[in-house]
Structure 1
Amino acid sequence: MEPSFYEQVYEVVRLIPQGRVTSYGAIAKALGAGRSSRLVGYAMNLAHDLQPPVPAHRVVNHKGLLTGKFHFRGSDLMQELLEQEGITVENDQVQNFKTVFWDPAIEI
């Protein structure tokens, strides 16, 4: 049986290296569903207690904004997790976004 779209999303997100981020749209595009970035966001909202863990904090919007931060326990947890990995975040936005961006369409 083929994995569901959400399971495919989780597989991709688990591949994002520490200290790197990607976007909802980049994941959708890599999975051949370029217009499904919102579905990737929904998948991230449901990922927090999955095993093996899904590093949902590494998925941001196309501008590097932490648009999913309100779905983490604690209002600053997403930023704290990214900063622990060496990513600088200011005003809910990843700094040097192009430098730390991981494109699954190229990297996988």
Structure 2
Amino acid sequence: MRSSAERAARILARVRATPEGFVRSYGDVSPGAPRLTGAVLSACDDPDLPWHRIVRADGSLAKGARQRALLEAEGVPFRGERVDMRQARLPD
């Protein structure tokens, strides 16, 4: 079994590997444990971590207008208030 530090490091590595212009869902980052992804992100204070590229599975944003502005600046497409997951979700 992996330690919590190993799981957190793996989650942060997947977040960092999400390229500009794409998103992943919390569940994509940590399959079967999307809330763990949220907990790891909320505990991380690395200003260079592209946290804004991680969204809910339905494309909605956890951090609202701030997150949307960062994603729009990278060219991530939206449909209304949500990320267009068909176009923006990084394939695994």
TM-score bracket, shorter-length normalisation: 0.7 to 0.9
Q: From 40, 43, 47, give the equivalent of 1:46.
A: 43
Identity of aligned residues (%): 30
User: TM-score normalized by structure 2?
Assistant: 0.83
**Matched AA of 1:6:** A
Gaps of 5+ in 1: 70-74
Find the aligned partners of 1:39 and 1:56 in 2 and give their Cα distance: 14
2:59 match: 64
More helix by share: 2
Find the aligned partners of 2:77 and 2:41 in 1 and give their Cα distance: 21
Q: CA deviation at 1:76?
A: 1.7
Q: CA RMSD in A?
A: 1.8
1:102 match: 90
Find the aligned partners of 1:41 and 1:9 in 2 and give their Cα distance: 10
**Matched AA of 1:50:** D
Q: CA deviation at 1:26?
A: 1.0
Find the aligned partners of 2:22 and 2:71 in 1 and give their Cα distance: 9
Q: CA deviation at 1:44?
A: 1.5
Find the aligned partners of 2:14 and 2:74 in 1 and give their Cα distance: 18
SS at match of 2:75: coil
1:15 match: 17
Contact 2:23 2:55 survives alignment (8 Å): yes
Gaps of 5+ in 2: none
1:72 match: none
Q: CA deviation at 1:9?
A: 0.6
Aligned pair count reads 88
**Matched AA of 1:11:** A
